[in-house]
Amino acid sequence: MNEEQKLNQFQARIDADEKIEPRDWMPDGYRKTLIRQMSQHAHSEVIGMQPEGNWVLRAPSLRAKKILLAKIQDEGGHGLYLYSATETLGIDRTEMIEQLQQGNAKYSSVFNYPTLNWADIGAIGWLVDGAAIVNQTMLAKCSYGPYSRAMLRICKEEGFHQRQGYEIMGKMMTGTQAQREMAQDAMNRWWWPALMMFGPHDSESAHSQESMKWKIKVESNDKLRQRFVNRTVEQAHHIGLTVPDPLLSYNKETLNWSFGPINWDEFWSIVKGNGPCNEQRMSHHIKYHNEGAWVREAALAFEENLTKKQTVSI
């Protein structure tokens, strides 16, 4: 088959909702887009452990601490599934991590904001994981088999993360005046960054058109953002929180909550590395990656030893 026939056959498989597997033929652009998006996704899971890790030693009870620890470990696990799924496309983890540390790969903008108090842990679980679920439920239907299967598993765990965050917020809202104010303050600071997680508006999204043709994304940035807003506004009102948007209003015709303009200058400034915590997140990652070099060397030496032994016994 010539290139054009291969491309047509590939697109026909996508259109028929078949999953593409690692050894199947795929266009170079499909592979590159997946590597970009999946590695960014993996990096987001790992960098996302940092803002929460900040509160493990200050959790208000043993129960809260155990739950937070379990959640952070889950995020590390999600990073591992995603790095492994990305490796099926022919790049190895060392290269992905180099790209991140050299500033050639991104991670989600939302993790460049600081966690100032315990209510922020509630807001991250509820809003950030809540936004991630909406996006990842869509990605579970994507055309690349390993990514789609990783998403199925990850979404199950995100459900627990979202509920633990909402529980923290709900508890604080039934507490003292000071606790209610802390919860509202966290809501005010995390609402807009959570909306930005879905990426630029569809009209500004560089990759959406091609990614949707290949079913790497099966729904657009704006459609998912709207779904998240619709769900979350109701949840906020239920526990007495105010959404920090004076333009928020319910549209009875479209059945959607309309919301005010997103500050895209802030978004792009953070994506370009100028957010409040970008530098800290990256220097922390580099420091602990370097300190963990001996673990990787030991694991590799063990693996080589094991392979030698197996070869001898065969």
Q: Would you tell me which residues interact with ligand BYC (CB under 6 A)?
A: 36-37, 40-41, 44-45, 48-49, 52, 75, 106, 108-109, 124, 128-129, 132, 135, 196-200, 205-208, 211, 217, 221, 271
CB 279 to ligand BYC: min, Å: 16
Residue 13 or 207 with smaller CB distance to ligand BYC: 207
Residue 31 or 180 with smaller CB distance to ligand BYC: 31
Residue 7 or 218 with smaller CB distance to ligand BYC: 218
CA nearest to 8, candidates 23, 25, 21: 25
**Phi then psi dihedrals of residue 258, to 5 deg:** -85, 145
| Closest residue by beta carbon to ligand BYC | 48
261-268 contacts at long range (C-beta below 8 A, 24 or more positions apart): 262/192, 262/195, 262/196, 263/192, 264/200, 264/204, 266/192, 266/196, 267/109, 267/196, 267/200
Alpha-carbon distances, residue 298 vs 268, 302, 305 (angstroms): 40, 6, 10
CB 109 to ligand BYC: min, Å: 4
**Phi then psi dihedrals of residue 285, to 5 deg:** -60, -45
Alpha-carbon distances, residue 232 vs 130, 237, 257 (angstroms): 8, 9, 10
Residue 114 or 240 with smaller CB distance to ligand BYC: 114
CB 303 to ligand BYC: min, Å: 28
CB 245 to ligand BYC: min, Å: 19
Residue 237 or 272 with smaller CB distance to ligand BYC: 272
CB 102 to ligand BYC: min, Å: 14
